[in-house]
Chains A and B, each alone.
Chain A
Amino acid sequence: MAHENVVMAVRKVDDKTAAVDIRGELTAFAEDELMSAYHQAVGDGAQAVVLNFSELDYMTSSGIGLLVTLFIRANREGTQLYAVGLNPHYQRIFALTRLNETIRVFETEEEAVRVRE
């Protein structure tokens, strides 16, 4: 049986913003890691969470489903979600799925933080 092959590191960006560095594969097996990272981020007081995909190896349709689930949770809690570091292929997938209409996509973390301010 496959297992999660992902590491998520939570960083504080500023008083109201945290970043989650996603390293590895975003598949169905990453659910616990992703939700745990999100809860750690908002638990530390963040009102916005930047998902950093610059070290993403691979994302499946199940990973997209996880992001939808995460957005629903974040939206309910009034937390903003941003995506940065997506390569052109995954930017295209965000656009095709219209995920970019719910999770705003930026090239860099600095851009996301600037817009948040």
Chain B
Amino acid sequence: MDTGDPSTQQDGQKGWQTLAVFSLPSLAGNERQAMVLVEQAVDPLCLPVEKLDRLKTAVAEATMNAIEHGNRHQADLPVTICVLTEGNRMSVEITDYGTCGPIPAPETPDVEAKLDGRQTSRGWGFFLIEKMVDALEIHGDEAHHTIKLYLYLEGRADQDLADCSGSHE
């Protein structure tokens, strides 16, 4: 898709176009800023409200994880967020400086276990991310962790995009 937006550029991955790249300091609460910036970046894609809400929640949770667990609240370590689109899908890549080696599989939260004390009442973040997006990938090396969130853009015809430009404000 060519949105005609001069900020849109061809990404290194074949067929993917970068809609936005930005970095935020690892400060608690900056996930709100991430949500706002990603929402602005995907505006040309005219996502339905339900899908946009899911994306925003996933981005916020993944950014919080990056701030808390990856960068351990070190404000000088940025969280980098890249928003891309390709064909009928889009992706948000969130990268931190986590260097903890392989990422362990998170415990699946169980509300009954939480209520009777077998699990902590927290620990819903990764579960929510998984449920909000259509697919995700986690990559890690000795210097970074990246989570890639994918959403499919159903019914994203050119006409829909044209229509949404006047009704998405």
Contacts and interface: CB of A to CB of B under 8 A. Distances in A.
B27 A89 contact: no
A60, A71, A88, A101 — most chain B CB neighbours (10 Å): A60
A65 interface: yes
Interface in B110-144: 111, 114-115, 120-125, 127-128, 131
A96 B31 CA distance: 22
B21 to A, nearest CB: 24
A89 B54 contact: yes
Contact of A65 (B57, B124, B131): B124
A1 B27 contact: yes
A97 B114 CA distance: 11
Tell me what chain B mostly uses at the interface: helix, strand, loop, or mixed: helix
B123 A65 contact: yes
Interface residues of A, number: 25
B50 interface: yes
Nearest to A88: B50
A68 B111 contact: yes
A92 to B, nearest CB: 8
A62 interface: yes
Nearest to A63: B124
Interface string A69-107: 101100100000000000011000100111101100000
Per DSSP, are chain A's interface residues mostly helix, strand or loop, or mixed? helix
B129 to A, nearest CB: 9
A94 to B, nearest CB: 10
B93 interface: no
Given A88-B50, A97-B109, A61 B115 contact: no
B158 interface: no
Contacts of B30: 2
A64 interface: yes
B106 to A, nearest CB: 11
Interface of B: 27-32, 50, 53-54, 57, 60-61, 64, 109, 111, 114-115, 120-125, 127-128, 131
